[in-house]
Amino acid sequence: MLKTLLKINLQNLFLTMFSGKSGKEKKKKKSPLIYVLIALLAVYVIATLVASVSLMFSSVANAFGNTDGMEWFYFALAGILVFLLTFVGSVFTTQNLIFKAKDNELLLSMPVPMHYILFSRLSSLIILDLAYALLLGGPLIGVYFYHHGFSASMLALYAVCVILTVILSTAVTTFIGWLVALISTKFKRSNILQTVMSLAFFGVYMVVVMNMQTYIEMLLTRGEEIARAIQKALPAFYYFGIACAYNKLWAVALLAVISFIPFALACILVSKSFIRIATAKKSANKKKYVAKELSAKSAKSALFRKELSGFFSIPMYILNSAFGGLMLVMLSAYIAFSGSTNAIFTMLGTDEEIASLMPIVISAVIGFCSSMCNTGASAISLEGSRINLLRSMPVNSDDFYFAKYAVNFVVGFVPLTVSVILLEIGLRFDLLTILAVYVSSVCFLAVTSFINLTCNMLMPKFSWASEMMIIKQSGAVLAAMLSGMAVTATAFAPAFLATKFISTEIYLLILSAVCIAVCFAFIGYYKTSGKKRFERMSA
Amino acid sequence: MLRINNLTKRYGDKAAVDNLTLEIGAGEIYGFIGHNGAGKTTTIKSCCGIIGFDEGDIFIDGISIKDTPLECKKKIAYIPDNPDLYDFLSGIKYLNFVADIYSVGKKERNELIKKYADMFELTDSLAENISTYSHGMKQKLAIIAALIHKPKLMILDEPFVGLDPKASHLLKEIMAEICRNGGAIFFSTHVLEVAEKLCSRVAIIKDGKLVVSGRTADVIGNASLEDVFLELEAD
């Protein structure tokens, strides 16, 4: 029974990520070119990630790998980073996957032991977290081997320790998920609570990311002091370090104890209150309807409003799909008010030619962040089985796509505008330059919004157990993220060559014109292929 | 009002609906009966323009759903077997959303929403989010949403599932009223007693093929609809 449950959960996870259209319709065979393109994009993103992690931690690996008595420190840091990444990656997913899964009531009605349900759900989460962990843990051990030579036993122990760390992280996220779910049952506006908590976590995460270089410098100068603190306060990661650096099995055993005890406790805690939370109805007082004159709007406007309400109703949708916007505003505010502006100019100012590229660099950063405002990448799939009802109504494909496109555009446009204002405060570009940056960024956002929506149009998935799976793990979202990176590189990389012949402002205006042309091409595509695909959409 | 001509819909090599022909006239309540997987929902979804079909055509009030789907959809209302509505909207926002989609006038929507919400005793709950509704309340909301644009043809998939006896009775009355006003009803059901009492015509479908259709009295003769259905299923 447990095997079947595990299989179903993993199958669901896999299908959400890689399967396209759902329903009874026979699937069309995808062109091999699509697979090649996706593979190339994946390689590009993974290579970028590996390269940046390697560069960042190369000095740390070099400094501590050969210091007597401090060899463990690098691995302890690796453990902490893996823990943080998997924690941030799944802290709110856990709550949704455990307590808000659509099949909870069905499974509870069957003679399935509670701990089987929980174990199967947590196991699929651990597998997903392991994939995240590999993205960071892989380059970190690679950097170490590069500096200090390969060791098979070290690699094996490191792999075991990463798995144990992921289990520890899952235990903590399960506990937090349980706590949030418990509070949510008492709270009428639990969405607000979740959004606030998500933003708080996000804020902490951004502070850590933005100050990473400072932290690394601090590690290099005050390494021993920090190591002592870790040894005392975070024994799990100390044992992680000892196990890997000195091949100590007793340290692995202690890490296992530290990981499995909280995991078991979290499972017991959740299983005790699972039924109550998973099947709870909000206890708040009922709001009595007071009749008011209803206003009439166009179908287009009604669909847009419905879409916007949907966006604001799911905290994780806001956090995941507006992540780029949040990051953009925080980065711009940092540049505007932290005084780092001078540092940027000093850095670039040594070479006049490089300094003149500042508007391009800024536009590229805005473009990249805007591309991560990707509500459109899951908006079609989130219709779920409601797509049938909508398709039975006189809704034309243009209005349907417009609503989803417009929400994606607005979600990107607002932070983009705020960030351009903040950047102008910080960087003081002349009027023509800032206008060129703004116009090109808006035009670029118009293109990436189309790309996001197109990814979902090509890979819709209407049957799902949890909205989280669509928002965080679907193939369309992954494809949209990879495409965003690729398109940003394609749009801005040529500037480094082109600006030898034309000014940065002219380059940005040409880019805007190209973006507008691409948008028209997309509109044409949606009126033909998009319409046909809409007519085939059903759950 | 609804004419299905030689409808064929295949999923892969299997024909879910095979050369089906039906005609539902104005003023008729037409019951569509068949075992699970017989092809009822596929036929209904085809009639509503939700899924395409391989052969044949469907005409709503003389208009082909293949050629002009939007015009057809303005004339129909569809109530699915599972009322999965937009949970994040309140009941009133959902009804207003549907009214906007069908371009229902301001005055008319206010009147009709009040009328049907009062009738189904849902008025007090309209400010609540649909996520807080029970299955029956969602079903009632779906029915009200289906009525606010005064459809000429109502297509319902298992409409009585989840409704309390009072709401079921009201729905039957509304169906009769639509027919009196020149509209038509086409619905699938497994409740054969309801079909026998309510429908002027019935059709029985088996493995995608129409087995029998006609006036209810002619189809059942001296037996009950249940006897006829079971006999046909056994063949």
Cβ within 8 Å of B, A 3-42: 24-26
Is residue A431 within 8 angstroms of chain B, CB to CB? Answer: no
Q: Which residues of B touch A301 (CB under 8 A)?
A: 100
Q: Nearest residue on chain B to A383, judged by CA atoms? A: B86
pLDDT at A19: 56
| Residues A289, B102: C-beta atoms closer than 8 Å | no
Is residue A299 within 8 angstroms of chain B, CB to CB? Answer: yes
- What are all long-range contacts of A32-41, with beta carbons under 8 Å and residues at least 24 apart? A38/A479, A38/A482, A41/A479, A41/A482, A41/A483, A41/A485, A41/A486
Q: Nearest residue on chain A to B46, judged by CA atoms? A: A392
Mutation target among B9, B13, B97 for the A interface, most CBs of A within 10 A: B97
Q: Chain-centre distance of CA A183, in angstroms?
A: 25
Is residue B150 within 8 angstroms of chain A, CB to CB? Answer: no
Residue B90: pLDDT band with limits 50, 70, 90: very high
The owner of tokens 């994946």 is: A42
DSSP secondary structure, A291-331, as one string = --PPPP--HHHHHHHHHHHHHHH-HHHHHHHTHHHHHHHHH
Cβ within 8 Å of B, A 237-296: 281-282, 286-291, 293-296
| Residues A288, B124: C-beta atoms closer than 8 Å | yes
Mutation target among A388, A398, A400, A536 for the B interface, most CBs of B within 10 A: A388
Residue B204, strand partner residues: B33, B212
Q: Which residues of B touch A388 (CB under 8 A)?
A: 45, 50, 80
Kindly report the CA angle at A383 between A379 and A387, in degrees rounded to 5?
130
Q: Which residues of B touch A310 (CB under 8 A)?
A: 86, 88
**Residue B19 three-state SS:** strand
pLDDT at B24: 94
Q: What are the pLDDT digits (tens) for B98-114? A: 999 999 999 999 999 99
pLDDT at A129: 86
Q: Which is more confident, A45 or B132?
A: B132
Residue B227 has pLDDT above 80, yes or no: yes
Q: Give me the residue from B49, B86, B132 closest to A306, CB to CB.
A: B86
pLDDT at B28: 94
The owner of tokens 């059901």 is: B189
| Residues B73, A392: C-beta atoms closer than 8 Å | yes
pLDDT at A322: 86
| Residues A293, B106: C-beta atoms closer than 8 Å | yes
Q: Which residues, including other chains, have CB under 8 Å from residue A199's CB and lie 6 or more apart?
A: A319, A326
Q: Give me the residue from A282, A291, A396 closest to B132, CB to CB.
A: A282
| Residues A286, B125: C-beta atoms closer than 8 Å | yes
CB A446 within 8 A of CB A371: no
The nearest CA of chain B is from the CA of A178 a distance in Å of 21
pLDDT at B188: 94
What is the pTM assigned to this prediction?
A: 0.79
Cβ within 8 Å of A, B 21-40: none
* Among candidate residues B193, B187, B205, B220, the one with its CA nearest the CA of residue B30: B187
Q: Which residues of B touch A315 (CB under 8 A)?
A: none
Is residue B132 within 8 angstroms of chain A, CB to CB? Answer: yes
Distance between CA atoms of residues B137 and A156, nearest Å: 57
Assign 3-class secondary structure to A82-132.
HHHHHHHHHHHHHHHHHHCCCCHHHHHHCCCCHHHHHHHHHHHHHHHHHHH
Mutation target among B60, B101, B123, B153 for the A interface, most CBs of A within 10 A: B101
Q: What are the pLDDT digits (tens) for B51-72? A: 999 999 999 999 999 999 999 9
Q: Which residues of B touch A195 (CB under 8 A)?
A: none
% of chain B residues with pLDDT over 90: 79
pLDDT at B79: 93
pLDDT at B183: 94
Tokens representing residue A508 in the block:
């940005």
Q: How crowded is residue A3: how many other Cβ atoms within 10 Å of its Cβ?
A: 9
Is residue A386 within 8 angstroms of chain B, CB to CB? Answer: yes
Distance between CA atoms of residues B144 and B118, nearest Å: 10
Is residue B91 within 8 angstroms of chain A, CB to CB? Answer: yes
Q: Which residues of B touch A395 (CB under 8 A)?
A: 101
Distance between CA atoms of residues A355 and A361, nearest Å: 10
Instruction: Say how many CB pairs under 8 Å bridge A and B.
Output: 110
Cβ within 8 Å of B, A 181-210: none
Is residue B70 within 8 angstroms of chain A, CB to CB? Answer: yes
CB A287 within 8 A of CB B127: yes
pLDDT tens string, chain A, 539 residues long: the values are 777 877 777 777 666 665 555 455 555 556 677 777 777 777 877 777 778 778 778 877 877 767 777 788 889 988 998 998 888 777 767 777 777 777 777 787 787 887 788 888 888 888 888 888 888 888 889 888 888 888 899 999 999 999 999 999 999 988 888 888 787 777 666 667 777 777 777 777 777 767 777 777 777 788 788 888 888 889 999 999 999 989 899 999 999 999 999 999 988 888 888 887 777 765 556 778 888 889 999 999 999 999 999 999 888 788 888 888 988 998 888 888 876 666 556 555 556 666 678 899 899 999 999 999 999 999 999 999 999 999 999 999 999 999 999 999 999 999 999 999 999 888 888 899 999 999 999 999 999 999 999 999 999 999 887 788 888 878 899 889 889 988 999 999 899 889 889 999 999 999 999 999 999 999 999 999 999 999 999 88
Cβ within 8 Å of A, B 106-125: 106, 109-110, 113-114, 123-125
Mutation target among B72, B84, B135, B147 for the A interface, most CBs of A within 10 A: B84
| Residues A392, B50: C-beta atoms closer than 8 Å | yes
| Residues A286, B128: C-beta atoms closer than 8 Å | yes
Is residue A100 within 8 angstroms of chain B, CB to CB? Answer: no
Distance between CA atoms of residues A218 and A226, nearest Å: 9
The nearest CA of chain B is from the CA of A468 a distance in Å of 15
b/e code A229-241 from CB counts within 10 Å (16+ = b): ebbeebebbbbbb
The nearest CA of chain A is from the CA of B23 a distance in Å of 20
CB A193 within 8 A of CB A187: yes
Q: Nearest residue on chain B to A397, judged by CA atoms? A: B70
